Amino acid sequence: MNDDRLRLDLAGLADEVTPVDLRDRALRTSRRIGIQRAVATSAAALMLVGVATGTALAIRPDPTVPPRPADSPRPADSPTASVTPPVAQAPSASPPVAPSVDNTMTTNPPAATIGRVVYGTSAESRGDKRYGYVYSWRPGGKVERSTGVSREATVLNMVVAPNGQRLAWVSGGALYTSNVDGSGKRKVRDGVDPHCWNPAWSPDSRQLMIAVVPAAEPRTTQVGVLDLGSNEFTELPGTEGCHPVWSANGDFFAYADGSTGKVLLARFDGPVRRAVPGLGGDAAHGSLDLASISPDGGRIALLRRGADDPGGDAARELRVNVVLDTRTGEEIRLPLGGRQLWQAYFQADGTLLARVKSGDGFALVLIDATGRKVSEVAEPAELNDEQILGVAV
């Protein structure tokens, strides 16, 4: 036997999987503001198709909204790069089937947390009546207040971008954007409907779905998607309604039919739309005000009114009293401990943030997609008079 040593070389192969971070959306009527409900049009475009072999993803061009070239500059209005949402399953009569999971490749998912909550001056705020303010708060931190902004806009139509860095609102018929602290304000365009079709942010915080008022036909509106980088407006004909909400994966949008109280759910990749059962028409309930929709389009938070309830006006209402299954119209029971639901927003991970009355103030209850309570935190008392505009990352 010779004394030669046998060497063993080990080569390790590791597959890297990069999760796509989804980004994800508002309601309170001021009865002091008398306005006619404008009925607007919408039907947007954004479609994503996953492409196989490894981990590559590609965007399929949509016939309605032209895709942005890959080498186009990032819009000056958006401080972060665009996020490409994954393909989502279309709403159907039956619940979506969960994909099979190889347990050998999974790790413990991160615990669900509450993101940065952005508040705005409400109609009931007792502060300075000349100005509105935007407040930003993350549980465990301090409340940050912006410089003065339009009080009318914070009540009627101001929305916060999913990345939590930008605001958009309409005042005096003009669309404005600014940083969330009120700095960097700029006028984007004139002739925008401030009442019925409030702006709705795209999930990547680069586009806004708005309704413009043509100068030649001031009694009509045209709904479309405005690219904040190029300032290009693409009309989306075929839809009439109010107060749209855009899902965090970019595939779905919902809006209220201002004349019937129906709530319609649509995909951006086609003309197919369907009504949420049990709302509007001859039903006992209807809704004119939507707050938030889940990333997969399966759940929606809104203000449901009975046949004898006041209909309100065209001003949006950020109150929420129910979360519904969009496929069946059934109410989803929430673990709120018997407390009154006040507002509700879906986060990009599918969790629901419920604002509930708690003693003399409010508490935030985080609920996962299965309906289980994850956590709860009391709101600072200084936010009691304000309304949540959205929840950001």
Q: Copy the structure tokens of residue 289.
A: 């005000």
Q: What is the mean pLDDT of residues 138-161?
A: 90
Q: Copy the structure tokens of residue 90.
A: 């279309």
pLDDT above 70 as % of the chain: 71
Q: What are phi and psi of 367, to 5 degrees?
A: -125, 130
Going by pLDDT thresholds of 50, 70 and 90, the confidence category of residue 312 is low
Rounded Cα distance between 260 and 239, Å, is 14
Going by pLDDT thresholds of 50, 70 and 90, the confidence category of residue 24 is very low
Q: What is the mean pLDDT of residues 2-29?
A: 35
CB 352 within 8 A of CB 374: no
What are the chain's domains? 114-392 (2.120.10.30)
Task: Quote the pLDDT of residue 221.
Answer: 86
Q: Is the dihedral of CA 134, 135, 138, 142 positive or negative?
A: positive
Contacts 24+ apart (CB under 8 A), 260-266: 260/286, 261/285, 261/286, 261/287, 261/288, 261/305, 261/311, 262/286, 263/287, 263/290, 263/300, 263/302, 264/239, 265/91, 265/293, 265/297, 265/300, 265/326, 266/43, 266/239
Q: What is the mean pLDDT of residues 224-229?
A: 94
CB 132 within 8 A of CB 114: no
Task: Quote the pLDDT of residue 93.
Answer: 38
Q: What are phi and psi of 118, to 5 degrees?
A: -110, 125
Give the three-class secondary structure for 227: strand
Rounded Cα distance between 73 and 68, Å, is 10
Least confident of 103-117, 178-192, 204-218, 296-310: 103-117
Rounded Cα distance between 225 and 189, Å, is 13
CB 169 within 8 A of CB 130: no
Task: Quote the pLDDT of residue 1.
Answer: 43
Q: Copy the structure tokens of residue 287.
A: 């809704």
pLDDT of 9 > 50? The answer is: no
CB 146 within 8 A of CB 181: yes
Q: Copy the structure tokens of residue 301.
A: 């938070």
Give the three-class secondary structure for 246: strand
User: For strand 144-145 and strand 134-137, is the pairing parallel, antiparallel, or unpaired?
Assistant: antiparallel
Rounded Cα distance between 1 and 195, Å, is 92
Rounded Cα distance between 85 and 248, Å, is 8
Which residue type is seen at 40? Answer: A
Task: Quote the pLDDT of residue 301.
Answer: 98
What is the rounded average pLDDT for all residues in the chain? 76
CB 264 within 8 A of CB 254: yes
Task: Quote the pLDDT of residue 108.
Answer: 54
Cα–Cα separations (whole angstroms), residue 130 to 123, 148, 200: 12, 9, 25
Least confident of 78-92, 246-260, 358-372, 375-389: 78-92
CB 241 within 8 A of CB 42: yes
Kindly report, residue by residue over 65-111, the tens digit of the pLDDT: 333 333 333 334 433 333 333 333 333 333 333 333 333 334 455 67
CB 350 within 8 A of CB 24: no
User: What is the value of pTM for the model shown?
Assistant: 0.72
For every residue of 191-232, DSSP letters joined together read: -B--SSS--EE-TTSSEEEEEE--TT-TT--EEEEEETTT--
Least confident of 57-71, 174-188, 273-287: 57-71
